[in-house]
Amino acid sequence: AAAVYALIVLGAVVRITGSGLGCGNDWPVCHGRLFPSFADLTTLIEWNHRLVAAIVSTLVVVLAGLTWFERRRAGSAPPAAPGRAGYMALALLILQVLLGAVTVKLDLPPWTVILHLGTAMLLLAALLVAAYPTPGLRRRSARTPGLVGAAIAFLTVLFGGLTANLGAATACVGF
């Protein structure tokens, strides 16, 4: 979860610095190479985003594997078995990687950038659930306020990303 958070922050740096096409529209390589020339700062920033994404991918695959192993080992003792959040994280990772490729190949259209951000936030949530399972929140009355708050926060992040990607932040220059 910490690595995904760092990747999201690095993704924000990519967005803010305009480095989204720092590797051209090559994917997964950068300017046709695994290790490009880092003469341009945007190339360095985008390449590091991809490097951290590769590290995150490895960690999520390991988590899913450990989840599978521990669930098999626990057998018929469900309280001892981990939840399925590790599997959900792997599915979201696959979607995230595909969205990253589409975003680069299509030259950063706002709708793909927003979907990429939204999937990153869902991946972070899945990893937090995997790290901190909360069996006491299985009652509907206990989880509803948290889910509503999380949904509102998620929508706020997506609308913030949409505002930035459409250039709408300049519409109101004063407070």
Residues involved in catalysis? 46
Q: How far is 64 from 101, CA to CA, in rounded Å?
A: 22
**Under 8 Å between Cβ of 19 and 13:** yes
DSSP 33: B
Compute CA distances 99 → 67, 81, 105, 115, 131, whole Å: 25, 31, 10, 7, 25
Residue that is written with structure tokens 């989880």 in the block: 143
The residue length of the chain stands at 175
Q: How far is 16 from 75, CA to CA, in rounded Å?
A: 48
